A and B are shown apart, each in its own frame.
Chain A
Amino acid sequence: MAAEEGKVDPMKQFTIEPLFGSDWQLADGFNIAFTNSALWMAITAVVVWVFVAGGMKRQLVPGRWQMAVETMTGFIDDMLEANIGKAGRKYVPYIFSLFMFILFGNLLGLVPVGVIPGVHAFTFTSHFTVTGVLAILSFSIVLIVGFWKHGFHFFSLFVPKDTPFVMAIFIAPIEFVSFMVRPFSLALRLFVAMMAGHVLLKVLASFVIAGGGAGPALGAAVGIPSFVLMVAISALEILVAGIQAYVFALLTSLYINDAENLH
């Protein structure tokens, strides 16, 4: 997928590059090179920490920042209470971290730091290796909680309540497949949504550049509408960044609900 000379490759933005040498090894063959992806994860972690730390004043009458942080924790708390009930409170730290990490990762990838020469924004949530690990984490919590609380009775999750035995024979395998697909759908949904938006923006950007290179008339005819569309789609991408983080957290909480309250 090599780009031709002078053309914009919409996929180049997803390339992972080692920043401080590529020979960092944790063990033999276990490469842990600090890449641009790792850098943006670090930035995201720091920004999340700064955001939440700003709300740690613990005042009785909150300021704006504290109010914003408390709104976020309250939002996650309400979501878990609505989906899981009182038992959902103990998952707030995990779901909150997950939601904020994905949300800030998505949003930071949209920050136009590319206007500074040599700096490139990187959206680590557009890599299924990352979203896959997060999905596996959530799925593992579901499995651990489910088997911890219900033991082998957790398998009754695959037989919906009051199913006749004859139908259960057919339904159980389907339910099992749908259950096992969950981590994949969880990971792919976020990965695809983030990648698609960024590809679309880059494709439209290439239209602007190519139109501009083809002369003023064509540049105005193609470039200006493309640029207007880019602005609109950027706004849409900010919305998608929030929605996808919310969907990831919401689905995780729904799956945990299956484990916490079996039928």
Chain B
Amino acid sequence: MPQIVQIADTLTSQVFWLLVFFGLTFLVVGLGMVPKIMGTVDLRDKQIADDLAEAQAARDAADSEEAAWRKRENDNRAAAQGVIAEAKAAGAKASGAKLSKAQKRLDTRLAKAETAIEAARSSAMAEIEAVAADAARDIVARIAGATVEPAAAEAAVKEVMAHG
């Protein structure tokens, strides 16, 4: 086994060159480069964590903004509903008053018209009676040749009309 056979000749050389090259590796790569590489990794991890935290904060802000907006919107909606209800109530009241006023006016006009109609009817009735009495008198004079007193004729007509 050369490892054992050559040990006396090569031990110092092996140890020396190993210490030189492993030492160089440790100094240049281990101490010089590895911390920088790990620093880069840490920096990246930190940046990612910061970005995530920022995104979370932005999301929370957006959520609270939305909640505030929703609340404001709901309040506005409720206020609008109140205004509408008020306006509806006022409108209903006003139209009710107008309606009742118009109704009253209509009623009075109706009553007036009815009385006028009644008066016209009664006057027409009286005229019809007079005409009927005259006609009855003429008919009696023509058929019976008798002359009837206007008063008697009127009374007879009235009697007949009353029986209807």
User: By the criterion CB–CB under 8 Å, are A14 and B2 in contact?
Assistant: yes
* Contact (A38, B24) CB under 8 Å given A52-B34, A73-B37: no
* 0 or 1 for each of A92-116: is its CB under 8 Å from B? (1 = yes): 1110111011000000000000000
Partner of B30, one of A31, A33, A74, A93: A93
* Contact (A41, B18) CB under 8 Å given A30-B12, A52-B33, A58-B36: yes
Q: Is the interface of A mostly helix, strand, loop or mixed?
A: helix
Residue of A nearest to B19 (CB): A133
In the bound complex, residues from chain A placing their C-beta under 8 Å from that of B36 are 56, 58
| CB neighbors of B among A136-193 (8 A) | 137, 191
Pick the most buried of A41, A62, A92: most chain B CB atoms within 10 A of its CB: A41
In the bound complex, residues from chain B placing their C-beta under 8 Å from that of A127 are 3, 14
Say if the beta carbon of B5 comes within 8 Å of chain A: yes
Residue of A nearest to B31 (CB): A93
User: By the criterion CB–CB under 8 Å, are B10 and A92 in contact?
Assistant: no
* Contact (A70, B37) CB under 8 Å given A32-B13, A33-B13, A49-B25: yes
User: By the criterion CB–CB under 8 Å, are B3 and A58 in contact?
Assistant: no
Interface size grouping (class) on chain A: 35 or more
User: By the criterion CB–CB under 8 Å, are A96 and B44 in contact?
Assistant: no
| CB neighbors of B among A52-66 (8 A) | 52-53, 55-56, 58-60, 62
Bound form: Cα–Cα A129–B35 in Å: 30
Bound form: Cα–Cα A137–B33 in Å: 21
* 0 or 1 for each of A57-98: is its CB under 8 Å from B? (1 = yes): 011101000000110011001000000000000001110111
User: By the criterion CB–CB under 8 Å, are B13 and A38 in contact?
Assistant: yes
Residue of A nearest to B44 (CB): A60
Say if the beta carbon of B69 comes within 8 Å of chain A: no
Chain B residues packing against A (C-beta within 8 Å): 1-3, 5-7, 9-22, 24-26, 28-31, 33-38, 40-41, 43-44, 47
Question: 13 A–B contact pairs at CB < 8 A?
Answer: A30-B12, A35-B17, A37-B17, A48-B25, A56-B37, A70-B40, A70-B41, A92-B38, A93-B30, A96-B30, A129-B18, A134-B22, A195-B3
